[in-house]
Amino acid sequence: MELTTVWFSLIALLWAGYFLLEGFDFGVGILLPVLGRDNRERRLLINTIGPVWDGNEVWLIVAGGATFAAFPEWYATLFSGFYLPLLLILVALIIRGVAFEYRGKRDDDRWRRRWDWCIFAGSLVPAILWGVAFGNIVRGVRLDEHHEYVGGFLDLLNVYALVGGLTTLVLFVLHGAVFLALKTDGEMRQRAGALAARLAPAAIVVAGAFLAWTAIAHHDAVGLVLFIVAALSLAGAAVATRLRREGWAFLATGATLVLAVIGLFVTLFPDVMPSTIADANSLTVHNASSTPYTLKVMTWVAVFFTPLVLLYQGWTYWVFRKRLSVENIPA
């Protein structure tokens, strides 16, 4: 297997891991004003992701760094053409991180409410825009013969990409609700589980429509199989939420996100950014990649350090695995 294909696959896995882990973070942030009726309950929700949210964002940094090193032409075109939406995502993530740190700095209800809304907005904006961005990457954008984006911002707001944004939004919110049902106890566990059961049908409709649209447009057999399994996994999550089997439901929503992301990358291959102007203008794993020597060095670095990162993050989740309830939050 060529190293360009290896690194395309690794980047796909990094994005799948990011959506799996940061997805429930975003879901919890969006549900903060929905499930958190008072300050104590909102603190409970924040504490469920408090030890892990910043570690989950490392997957985004590594995915971006790997793209820059392995496919610099893809990185340059992506970040110049998608400058505004990616800037909005970055600002939202910064505001969200600051809100987590500053929320408890003053004993003032108005102060806390403002930062709570910052957490909500900082979770909502990326949850939508990541789907819009990936929708445009898979659909294709206006690239000229120099592989430069020549479209405008409104071109990115096409129907397919907006459905993609709605898909990531509903999947992340469902993933977050299931996570809260798994991570909390008492009344919060019951409310989160009931909300997840109500959200599951909507997620099936929206995500199913987006995946079906993608499969019909691209006619990729492997991608179609992955999309079908992702849809079945989402249906299994709906059943598990009804039965209040939180662990199985979380595994199912996680599998849905991972399979859907990998399916999108499989559908995209060998392109990394198709052109809607002419096929010759498209960026591929070949014309967008770094030199073979660079890819070889990166591969050895990944072989040594990836297991260490996975072990450390797995250990973190194991240490903070216990359920939380309002009784664990001081008044």
Say which CATH number the domain at 247 has: 1.20.1630.10
Whether the predicted pLDDT of 206 surpasses 90: yes
Of all residues in the chain, the percent with pLDDT exceeding 70 is 100
Structural domain tally of the chain?
1
Instruction: Write out pLDDT tens, residues 117-158.
Output: 999 999 999 999 999 999 999 999 999 888 888 888 888 999
Of all residues in the chain, the percent with pLDDT exceeding 90 is 63
- Say what the pLDDT of residue 160 is: 95
- Say what the pLDDT of residue 255 is: 96
Sequence-distant (≥ 6) Cβ neighbours of residue 66 within 8 angstroms? 7, 10, 11, 14, 298
Whether the predicted pLDDT of 331 surpasses 80: no
- Say what the pLDDT of residue 1 is: 63
d(CA 113, CA 96) in angstroms, rounded, equals 13
Whether the predicted pLDDT of 330 surpasses 80: no
- Say what the pLDDT of residue 50 is: 86
d(CA 331, CA 326) in angstroms, rounded, equals 9
Q: What is the residue-averaged pLDDT of the chain? A: 91
Residues 303/311, Cβ–Cβ less than 8 Å: no
- Say what the pLDDT of residue 309 is: 83
Whether the predicted pLDDT of 259 surpasses 90: yes
Find the mean pLDDT for residues 56-75.
90
Whether the predicted pLDDT of 177 surpasses 70: yes
Residues 244/288, Cβ–Cβ less than 8 Å: no
d(CA 48, CA 183) in angstroms, rounded, equals 7
- Say what the pLDDT of residue 162 is: 96
pLDDT, greater one: 309 or 165: 165
Find the mean pLDDT for residues 30-47.
92
For residue 172, the enclosing domain spans 3-328
Instruction: Write out pLDDT tens, residues 288-322.
Output: 888 888 889 988 988 888 888 889 888 888 888 88
